[in-house]
Structure 1
Amino acid sequence: MSAAAREALSTDPSAPADAVAALADDPSPVIRANLLTNPAVPADLRYQVHASLAAEAAAGDREAENALAWVRYDRSGRTACDTPE
């Protein structure tokens, strides 16, 4: 599947659960970050994806760091895994 198709699928709230789950292991941090904002993605999968992106960012992966920064910006400084205040 092309990167454009995977990206479209990662943001589609009507995407099949098995397709979304497969994207949790996508090599692209951007595609995985999209899963954090997709309302169809179960919370446990969002936590898994967020943890993997955070670990990659901590290890120096700039693309993962930028993807997480985009999610924080898009969510007004919060990630999809933050608990409400």
Structure 2
Amino acid sequence: MLKQILGDVLEVGIGTGSNLPYYPEYIRSLTGIDFSRNMLKHAKDKANNSQYKFPIRLVEADIQELPFQDNTFDSIVSTCVL
């Protein structure tokens, strides 16, 4: 599912962090954003309770107003739930 991502990765709508186990260990870093503080708390618990080989940063933010400069990320992951 996430085999083609590289470098610094942005996951939009990280939610509870359910995708964390699927990230390849060779990425440089992962930044996850979500507008829900409660969801980010769950994602933080998952990130802290696992041994990932890349740094994970979680940010409370809305996708419509990303708090990052252009060209910060090499890959973007977005999950659509229907």
> Normalising to structure 1: TM-score of the pair?
0.38
- Which has the larger share of strand? 2
